[in-house]
Amino acid sequence: MLLIMIIIIIVILAGFKFYYSLSSGMCTCDARMDGKVVIVTGANTGIGYETARELAQRGARVILACRSAQKGIAAVDSIRTATGNTDVVFKQLDLCSLRSVRIFAEDILNTESKLDVLINNAGTGILDNSLTEDNIPIEAQVNHFAPFLLTVSLLPLIKKSAPSRIINVSSLMHKFGKIDLNKFHKQAKNSFEHRRVYSNTKLANILFTNKLSKDLKGTGVTANSVHPGVVSTDIFRDKYAITKYLIRLLFKTPLQGAQTSIYLAVSPELKETTGKYFVDCCKARTSASGQDADLANKLWDLSCQVVNSEKKDL
């Protein structure tokens, strides 16, 4: 009886895996990226790595923005070897430190003459309620406040490089998010609040994207968000071993998860598409909260306050 149950479970899991392999939208666009400059955060592993590798394969200058120098340099070497593109570089960026974000942005502004695509890919799903050195909850800072600061800091170069693109990696989990502006930037008081932090930050990604798209209208800069799918990545590196095994068995591969980000970065047909949410290389609907313009405006003001940015107007 136990053997039969095990076989049934294996068949069901295999069916899920087969379904994902068929339903994962793949980027079929073969557009080159020669002469383009791209930044991909969290590019040393997972979706970010596969995104960076594909864009390097298409001829872009790719900047891997990662926290770990060792892993970042190893990823650069791997991508250079795989693609033959030597214009792939590592620059250190620790999203747990707003100081690191500012140093990174200043370096980019001083050394790069253009920035065609910014992909805010890095994120965390760790169940850690601790605070960063900036006194902000880790998930809130890594998933929203640091990418917010990075983006607004790089906007002068992005606008100068128009037509250019900003791509924010969000998640289907945003549909479970509910942002309380009095609590969003503060440490969760209980386990119930903390379990919702990830979804709240992913909703913040959607709201930030929509606010950007409206404020940048007419500049030639587009901003879109992405749900990469349920992907087996290092975002779950701190989970239990059995959880990680099931994730690898059931979820999309990082290469499959990278497809929509790649599509948004390279597709000529999306040159003027902005303020949209994409799943499997297709436009999709966000939650009603994701379309709340008033909430987006208030979140923008809060974000400026939290990161001490004066760039309230674009």
* Each residue's pLDDT tens digit, 69-127: 999 999 999 999 999 999 999 999 999 999 999 999 999 999 999 999 999 999 998 76
CA nearest neighbour of 40 among 247, 266, 314, 294: 266
For the chain, the domain total comes to: 1
Interval 35-81: pLDDT, tens: 999 999 999 999 999 999 999 999 999 999 999 999 999 999 999 99
Long-range own/partner contacts, residues 179-184 (CB < 8 A, 24 or more apart):
179/203, 179/204, 179/207, 179/289, 179/295, 179/299, 181/295, 181/298, 181/299, 181/302, 184/140, 184/299, 184/302
% of the chain at pLDDT higher than 90: 77
Q: Is position 270 within any domain?
A: yes
Q: Residue 18 — very low, low, confident or very high, per pLDDT cuts 50/70/90?
A: low
Q: Is position 279 within any domain?
A: yes
Supply the range of the domain harboring residue 51.
Answer: 30-307
Q: Is position 110 within any domain?
A: yes
Q: Is position 148 within any domain?
A: yes
19, 20, 198, 245: the active-site residue:
198
Interval 240-299: pLDDT, tens: 555 555 555 567 899 999 999 999 999 999 999 999 999 999 999 999 999 999 999 999
Higher-confidence position of 250 and 203:
203
pTM for the model: 0.88
Q: Is position 312 within any domain?
A: no
CATH classification of the domain holding 225: 3.40.50.720
CA 175 distance to own-chain centroid: 17
Q: Is 198 designated active site?
A: yes
Quick one: DSSP state of residue 280? T
- Amino acid 203: pLDDT: 98
Q: Is position 199 within any domain?
A: yes
